[in-house]
């Protein structure tokens, strides 16, 4: 996606509205999903996504291409979220209904139930990580950014991203070792 996105950025810089619309099509859902995970609800995520794009357009001429378009846009979205948090906004807890709407498809009902329970527990555990670690997990694992793109988006070194991911994995492994009922091989889950 990097090459077409770079071409769209160049074309949008020259005032092509169709290129700008195509950039929104390419990145809106990704930025919304990222901000949804961070903000905790649909309304705030939609507002934050709009704010992020409102910051992206004036910054477009300054995009130097030192990072991917995806990491650059996620960086702006993340900073939009941080500014929003600093303004004393609160996030709301995710309800059971919210998690139920995200059940995986294509599996048998019992596999889907186990996977949904495990996913809900994992997402809830990730939500309790330190904010910097949580944002790193969201960008790398949920948004699929590379280590370098995640580092660019967060404005940290790649080694910091690696450290945060190792830290998150260690915390999550320790938490799930304490809860044997959540292990997929446990008879209580089957």
pLDDT at 12: 83
Among 86, 117, 136, the domain boundary falls at 86
Read off the CATH number of the domain in which 134 is found: 1.10.10.10
pLDDT at 1: 42
Query: Chain centroid to CA 132: how far?
Result: 12
Cα–Cα nearest to 143, from 154, 131, 159: 154
Cα–Cα nearest to 98, from 45, 40, 48: 40
Distance between start and end Cα atoms, the chain: 40
pLDDT at 49: 94
Q: How far apart are CA 33 and CA 45, in angstroms?
A: 8
For residues 185 and 103, state if they share a domain.
Answer: yes
User: What average pLDDT is seen over the chain?
Assistant: 82
Range of the domain at 127: 96-189
In this predicted structure, the answer to whether residue 3 has a pLDDT above a threshold of 70 is no
pLDDT at 66: 83
Banded model confidence at residue 186, pLDDT cuts 50, 70, 90: very low
For residues 100 and 185, state if they share a domain.
Answer: yes
For residues 107 and 178, state if they share a domain.
Answer: yes
Q: Evaluate whether residue 71 is within a structural domain.
A: yes
Residues ≥6 apart with Cβ < 8 Å to 85: none
For residues 16 and 69, state if they share a domain.
Answer: yes
For residues 68 and 101, state if they share a domain.
Answer: no
For residues 28 and 101, state if they share a domain.
Answer: no
pLDDT at 189: 37
pLDDT at 107: 63
Q: Which ranges in 101-157 belong to alpha helices (H)?
A: 109-127, 131-137, 147-154
Q: How far apart are CA 77 and CA 136, in angstroms?
A: 13
Q: How far apart are CA 160 and CA 143, in angstroms?
A: 18
For residues 109 and 180, state if they share a domain.
Answer: yes
Give residue-wise pLDDT tens across range 87-115.
Answer: 865 555 667 777 677 655 566 666 767 77
For residues 68 and 147, state if they share a domain.
Answer: no
For residues 77 and 118, state if they share a domain.
Answer: no
In this predicted structure, the answer to whether residue 76 has a pLDDT above a threshold of 90 is yes
Residues ≥6 apart with Cβ < 8 Å to 39: 45, 48, 81, 84, 91
For residues 31 and 106, state if they share a domain.
Answer: no
Q: Is the pTM of this model over 0.85?
A: no
Q: How far apart are CA 145 and CA 155, in angstroms?
A: 14
Among 28, 54, 86, the domain boundary falls at 86
For residues 174 and 112, state if they share a domain.
Answer: yes
Q: How far apart are CA 118 and CA 16, in angstroms?
A: 45
Q: How far apart are CA 162 and CA 159, in angstroms?
A: 5
For residues 141 and 179, state if they share a domain.
Answer: yes
Q: Evaluate whether residue 122 is within a structural domain.
A: yes
**Mean of the pLDDT values across residues 52-78?**
88
Q: How many residues does the chain have?
A: 190
Q: Evaluate whether residue 176 is within a structural domain.
A: yes
Give residue-wise pLDDT tens across range 19-51.
Answer: 888 888 889 999 999 999 988 888 899 999 999
Query: Chain centroid to CA 16: how far?
Result: 29
Q: How many domains, the chain?
A: 2
**Mean of the pLDDT values across residues 122-134?**
90
Give residue-wise pLDDT tens across range 162-181.
Answer: 999 999 999 999 888 865 54
Q: Evaluate whether residue 91 is within a structural domain.
A: no
Among 86, 109, 135, the domain boundary falls at 86
């Amino acid at each position: 996606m990097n090459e077409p996105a770079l071409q769209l950025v160049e074309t949008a810089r020259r005032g092509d509205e169709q290129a700008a619309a195509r950039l929104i099509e390419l990145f809106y859902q990704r930025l919304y999903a990222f901000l949804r995970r961070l903000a905790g609800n649909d309304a705030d995520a939609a507002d934050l996504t709009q704010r992020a794009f409102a910051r992206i357009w004036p910054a477009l001429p300054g995009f130097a291409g030192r990072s991917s378009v995806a990491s650059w846009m996620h960086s702006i979205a993340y900073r939009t979220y941080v500014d929003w948090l600093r303004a004393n906004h609160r996030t709301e807890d995710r309800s059971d209904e919210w998690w139920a709407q995200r059940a995986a498809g294509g599996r048998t009902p019992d596999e889907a139930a186990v996977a949904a329970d495990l996913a809900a527990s994992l997402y809830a555990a990730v939500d309790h990580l330190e904010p910097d670690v949580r944002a790193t997990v969201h960008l790398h694992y949920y948004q699929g950014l590379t280590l370098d793109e995640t580092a660019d988006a967060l404005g940290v070194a790649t080694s910091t991203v690696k450290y945060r991911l190792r830290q998150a994995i260690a915390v999550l492994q320790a938490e799930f070792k304490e809860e044997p009922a959540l292990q997929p091989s446990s008879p209580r889950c089957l």
